[in-house]
Amino acid sequence: MSFQWPTGFERCPKEDWAETPLEELALKYDTVEEHGWYDNLDATVELIIENLNSGDLIIDYSGGTGILTQRLLMAAQRDDFGILIVDSSPKFLRLALEKFQDNEQVSFRLINFLRDERRLQLLDEVLTTEMIEHGVDMICSTNAIHLYNQLDETLAAWNRVLRPNGRIHIQSGNIRNPSADEDAWIIDETVDHIHQAAMKIVQEQPEWANYSTMLEDEEYMKSHDVLRDKYFLPVRPIDTYLDALTSSGFQIDKQIVKTIPADVEEWYSFLSVYHEGVLGWVGGAERITGEKATEYVIEERKKLIRISMDMIFGRNDSFQTSWTYIEALKPE
């Protein structure tokens, strides 16, 4: 029997984001689904299917453009469960809607930013009364938990909407895990190594001399360090997440660490979209200088990112990355 949404529940509410045109940033981000390092989703899909029952409702939290949802639907090959994609980016959620608007298994909700309180809505503030009364069976967060500033509050809200014996599946390549292979990278930490390599190149190679004076401006460089940390947040240890889960009322069921190869060219393709966060000091980031970088400067940044990657990865085609998976449940 196909999945039935609670009576009165709208799969997609009539909100402004749902009517806007598709945006380039979302379309570019969505191409990571084709990258080999996005095989990090495979283990999560397997864990979900292991525990999937007929009639289950899954929340794809920070579901973005719907990459996990798409893989899960393809792997499960059944229509007796529902997926609610929840995300704070209207651009990404709009693309997810474009993909799944005709699939009755999938619904959509935007997490709004509450300006007066200077915070994002929590999950139980996003869901309707019908949905909260219906209950949620699983919550998944892939490649996103390391971005949550309100970690304790976020997990407490998950607990409030999850049914007893409900499960959560968390994974990230940006968790410091002592069980990880010593040779495996924490993927976002490659960005700081790229930054360090780029500074060395600018200092030592005459063709990049135009940018060397920028390195001498301490305030200027510090401001770009702060910006880089906003794009790629400092990595937290696994105990941060385990402690937050247990203090929010969850019981840890599984911890898994996997090593996944990442193609250097594919990672470059991803980072080049966020060139301002990676090497914004090359020519100056608009958020700091107030001036938009020229196309020439943007191309220079991208070129320097690529050269720096060759330096840190020894011109290898790929590098090993570490992914941490945590499965927890809400005790009955």
- In tens, the pLDDT along 175-228 reads 999 999 999 999 999 999 999 999 999 999 999 999 999 999 999 999 999 999
What whole-number distance in Å separates Cα of residue 169 and Cα of residue 83?
14
Confidence of residue 132 (pLDDT cuts 50, 70, 90): confident
What whole-number distance in Å separates Cα of residue 90 and Cα of residue 113?
11
Give how far Cα 4 sits from Cα of 80, 82, 195, Å: 8, 8, 50
Kindly report the pTM of this predicted structure: 0.93
Q: Which structural domains are found in the chain, ordered by start?
A: 16-172 (3.40.50.150), 189-229+265-318 (no CATH)
Kindly give the interhelix angle for 189-204 and 295-312, rounded to the nearest 10 degrees. Answer: 100
Structure token digits, residue 126: 């996003």
pLDDT tens by residue, 7-39: 889 999 999 999 999 998 888 888 888 888 889
Look at residue 26 in the predicted model and tell me its pLDDT. Answer: 87
What whole-number distance in Å separates Cα of residue 160 and Cα of residue 224?
39
Q: How far apart are the first and last CA of the chain?
A: 27
Show the beta-strand stretches assigned E in the chain: 57-61, 82-87, 106-110, 113-114, 119-120, 136-142, 162-172, 175-176, 236-237, 251-263, 318-329
